[in-house]
Amino acid sequence: MEIRSTITPQIMKRQVEIVTYLHKNLGAKEIRFEPAYRLWEKKQTEFQPHHAEIYAKHFLKARKKAHSMGCHLSFSGVRLDEIHGSYCNIQRNVLH
């Protein structure tokens, strides 16, 4: 089972916890984190350049944890040469 999770600056330090939950409680074998590049709610902080090192540090810890549990963690990354829509379709009120 593959599960995608949207990661915001507010929860980027909880990536290990998220991986653990998704694997143990939902049986995820493939997990993909999708950083939220643009947030619509004014209360939330968008990713800024200084967040990159923090995000990467916690992502690598989470990937190591995922590997130790027998699952795979990846993330979408930035593909500036490709045109694509939002990953979680938040504007369409759907759940993936």
What is the DSSP annotation of 20-66? HHHHHHH--SEEEEEE-SS--STTSPPP-GGGHHHHHHHHHHHHHHH
pLDDT tens, residue by residue, 63-72: 999 999 999 9
Residue range 56-81: mean pLDDT, rounded: 87
**Distance from C-alpha of 56 to C-alpha of 59, rounded to nearest angstrom:** 5
**Distance from C-alpha of 1 to C-alpha of 47, rounded to nearest angstrom:** 28
The pLDDT value recorded for residue 35 is 83
Indicate the average pLDDT of the chain.
82
Query: What is the share, in percent, of the chain residues with pLDDT greater than 70?
Result: 71
Q: Is the pLDDT of residue 61 over 60?
A: yes
The pLDDT value recorded for residue 36 is 78
The pLDDT value recorded for residue 29 is 95
**Distance from C-alpha of 73 to C-alpha of 28, rounded to nearest angstrom:** 10
Q: Is the pLDDT of residue 73 over 90?
A: yes
The pLDDT value recorded for residue 16 is 98
